[in-house]
Amino acid sequence: MSLWQRLKERLGGGATPGGGAPAGAGGGAAPDADPSGRGASEPRAPRSPAAPVARGRPTREEGGDDIARLRSAGARQGPSTEEVIAVLRRARGTLQEAEAVAHLVAAMEERVLPDPVRVACADLLAARGDEQGALSVLEGAATSRERGSAARAQPVSSTEGLVLAADLYASLGQLPRAIGAIERVLVREIGAPGARERHQRWRAALGAERPAAARVEDVTFVAPSASKTPFRLLREVARGGAGAVYEAEDEVLGRRVGFKVYHGRGGDRAHVTREVRLAAALAGPGVVRVFDADPDEGWIALEWIARGSVRDVLRAGDAAALAPVARWARPLARALARIHERGYVHADVKPANVLLRNLGEPVLSDFGLARPRGAPSAGGSPGYVSPERLAGRPSDPRDDVYGYGRVLEDVLVRLEPLGCEGLAAWKELSLRCLGPDDERPPDGAALVRAVC
């Protein structure tokens, strides 16, 4: 029995598309089917054997025609998104509620419905107490494997859908997934109503069992000239929890460099040493070059990449430069494959750490959180940490795959309004990367196969 069949069963035996009773033994009607979703213990009006209750379509005055049309939602001649949502609102809390949802569930078995429709359907299911069914709708649980269709339902990616999914995860006790969903909302829309409050509350609840890794938040200021280095600092270009990055000039070699200074200065010696050694060990395509470092003073000199990061491009309002997506997303997948093949996990894949030598040559920077596969993970950037890692799982390549999916999502959400072509396949891959572990590409090599 497929998930969708189980979902329809939970809606109530009589709530079948078309209003007919489900077939039972010998073709008889299912006894006492209750489309309202009430429990069996609740009183019902007695039925007269001489006057059985009709199980057919409700009359036009009762809105039966509108309810029946939900079965064709998403089809060319079916109702519009606005019409579907209006019908669901009218059916809410009435005897037609279960039938309306059953029609939509049947429609989802055949075609992919728009996010707003699925969110409205999931919200109605949640109100009926079927939280798992609501999540199934939001997660796109009807797959081609279940229904033999060429189409594949995708998890919702709208802000409203993610907030509802986060609430459902939290209600079911899946706090890491709830935090992951709400962080995706915050990265996209920091002012989304209730998002920050949810994030703080759930992080606190999760932290009661697993304390978050400490982060240094010191303010770092560096003078324009440093007597112990050959670099002349020109301007600050980035700042994060670990340190600040400056554009600088190597006065001896006459070249520009990226000068990263850690907030802890000498106190970060072990961290700086590990980061630069790992970056040097992984040197090659897709990894930023390290020129020099002083662990005692807490600085690293890196290659200067004038275009900056994917985050810089997005913040500058130049998202169109990132189309076509394949130009930079494919080599980025290959870079992750190299790192995973060496037995390491980057653990901080996000737009700010994807630098662009040119639009077809991305490089990963900041290996401060990188760990060998299977080692305990440490810290992470909110919005880009997989739910499994939030739950305490050791370092795993699937965490980088999740970060890759988030980078794609951040870019796609800005490219879609521009009408760029060829985004559908990348959106599907992004949502796969953000999905459950068993559906996510297991490592960079699998990611490369998915993008080629």
Are 201 and 341 members of one domain?
no
User: The CATH number of the domain where 429 resides is what?
Assistant: 1.10.510.10
Are 330 and 417 members of one domain?
yes
Q: What is the pLDDT of residues 290-316, one digit of tens each?
A: 999 988 888 999 999 988 999 999 999
219 in a structural domain: no
Please tell me the predicted confidence (pLDDT) of residue 18: 46
Are 158 and 238 members of one domain?
no
Answer yes or no: are the C-beta atoms of 270 and 278 closer than 8 Å. Answer: no
Closest CA to 263 of 201, 214, 333, 192: 214
150 in a structural domain: yes
Are 201 and 296 members of one domain?
no
297 vs 357: CA distance, rounded Å: 28
236 in a structural domain: yes
Are 256 and 145 members of one domain?
no
33 in a structural domain: no
24 in a structural domain: no
Please tell me the predicted confidence (pLDDT) of residue 222: 53
**Paired sense of beta strands 361-364 and 344-345, if any:** unpaired
Are 269 and 285 members of one domain?
yes
Query: Where in the sequence is the domain holding 69, given as residue range(s)?
Result: 3-16+56-206
Q: How many domains does the chain have?
A: 3
41 in a structural domain: no
Please tell me the predicted confidence (pLDDT) of residue 298: 87
Answer yes or no: are the C-beta atoms of 116 and 158 closer than 8 Å. Answer: yes
Are 349 and 273 members of one domain?
no
Q: What is the pLDDT of residues 236-274, one digit of tens each?
A: 988 876 788 999 998 888 899 999 988 876 667 888 898
Are 66 and 127 members of one domain?
yes
Are 317 and 199 members of one domain?
no
Are 392 and 291 members of one domain?
no
Catalytic residues: 348
Are 324 and 200 members of one domain?
no
Q: What does pTM read for this prediction?
A: 0.74
Please tell me the predicted confidence (pLDDT) of residue 376: 93
46 in a structural domain: no
Please tell me the predicted confidence (pLDDT) of residue 188: 84
**DSSP structure class, residue 29:** B
Q: Which of 155, 172, 206 corresponds to the end of one domain?
A: 206
* 294 beta partners: 299
Please tell me the predicted confidence (pLDDT) of residue 43: 36
pLDDT of the chain along its 452 residues, tens only? 444 555 556 555 444 444 443 333 333 333 333 333 333 333 333 333 333 333 344 444 445 688 999 999 999 889 999 999 999 999 998 888 989 999 998 898 888 899 999 999 999 999 888 999 999 999 886 444 444 444 456 788 899 999 999 999 999 999 999 999 999 999 888 888 999 999 999 988 987 444 444 444 444 555 444 556 788 999 998 887 678 899 999 888 889 999 998 887 666 788 889 889 999 999 999 999 999 998 888 899 999 998 899 999 999 999 999 999 999 999 999 999 999 999 999 999 999 999 999 999 999 999 989 999 999 988 788 899 999 999 999 999 999 999 999 999 999 999 999 989 899 999 999 999 998 888 899 999 999 999 98
Closest CA to 34 of 50, 25, 47, 49: 47
State the average pLDDT for the chain. 81
191 in a structural domain: yes
User: The CATH number of the domain where 128 resides is what?
Assistant: 1.25.40.10
CA 310 to chain centre: 18
Q: Which two tokens stand for residue 196?
A: 């920050």
